[in-house]
Amino acid sequence: MDEQPAYFVKSVEKAFDVLLAFTADHPRQTISQVAAAADMTRASARRFLLTLADLGYLRADGPFFELTPRSLDVGRAYLANLELPDIAERHLKLLAAELNETTSLCVLDGPDIVYVACVPSPRLLSVTITVGTRFPAWATSMGRVLLGALPEAGLKAYIDSVRLQKLTEHSIESLDQLRAEVDSARTKGWSMVSQELEDGLRGVAVPVWRGNDAVAAVNVSLQTHRAAPEDIERTVVPRLQEAARQIGIDYGGRASGLRGA
């Protein structure tokens, strides 16, 4: 092994060796297991584990240690610089090709959802939506799944301030209906809205989770004659959920972060 430079702090290297010993396949480990994975003595592993636990990066559970959410702080600045639309684009393209429909990524911005990425259907005739388009959150599948991910206080504040409009003859007409739809989206983990925003248009959406935060929603827009709601639930929703899961993972989330799947 090459000689380390004079500034090199060996204990820092060993601390990261200990942290990196915890993997998706081995999230909970004993002192002996960490010592073997990090190639150090059991006594050294114990000191590093206890120190990292005192700092909040690990927690002890009997003889086992595991990472805490604070361990994400190490990469938070890097992840914050990743552009979610760029990360999502590959998955949206795959989804659009697979379903032969328009796919989108939206975020919640005040009372609206905003399209931040969109891949048109490979078919000649498709729904035309561009990045930056805004719609009222209450009238869209994307908005309803993102509202369902809000803390209760945030959802109550939204409902107390929103003004419903009769956009089509199918639009919901009361705040009680809206609350029921949002609660349903929260419970199921997905939402379908048919012709409430525009006649002949049906939208289906699922949230993209990064940890405990719903950072966006993935949506598929379909013309109502293309498929019945029960067929969409059976064939489209699972594909949406998988695309959202992959986007969440690539954006720094964890595979278990998707709810309602």
The length of the chain in residues reads 261
Q: Give the Cα separation of 149 and 185 in Å (integer).
A: 9
Percentage of residues of the chain with pLDDT beyond 70: 90
Identity of residue 71: S
Contact by Cβ (8 Å): 166, 147: no
Contact by Cβ (8 Å): 83, 76: no
Task: Using DSSP, state whether 43 is helix, strand or coil.
Answer: helix
Range in 40-44, 234-238, 252-256 the model is least confident about: 252-256
Helix pair angle (31-38, 42-54), 10° resolution: 110
Every domain range in the chain assigned CATH 3.30.450.40: 82-257
Task: Tell me the sheet residues that pair with 103.
Answer: 119, 220
> Residue 259: is its pLDDT beyond 50?
no
CATH architecture of 82-257: 2-Layer Sandwich (3.30)
Q: What is the mean pLDDT of the chain?
A: 86
> Residue 123: is its pLDDT beyond 80?
no
pLDDT at 24: 76
Bridge pairing between strands 201-210 and 191-194: antiparallel
Average pLDDT of the residues in 161-172: 86
Q: Which residues lie closer than 8 Å to 131 by C-beta, 6 or more apart?
A: 85, 115, 116, 117, 118
Contact by Cβ (8 Å): 99, 67: no
Every domain range in the chain assigned CATH 1.10.10.10: 10-76
* Residue 113 token pair: 């959802």
Helix (H) or strand (E) holding 106: strand 102-109
Question: DSSP alpha helices (H): ranges in 134-199?
Answer: 141-148, 152-161, 175-188
∠ CA(70), CA(261), CA(193), 5° rounding? 115
pLDDT band at 79 (very low <50, low <70, confident <90, very high): low
CATH level 3 topology of 10-76? Arc Repressor Mutant, subunit A (1.10.10)
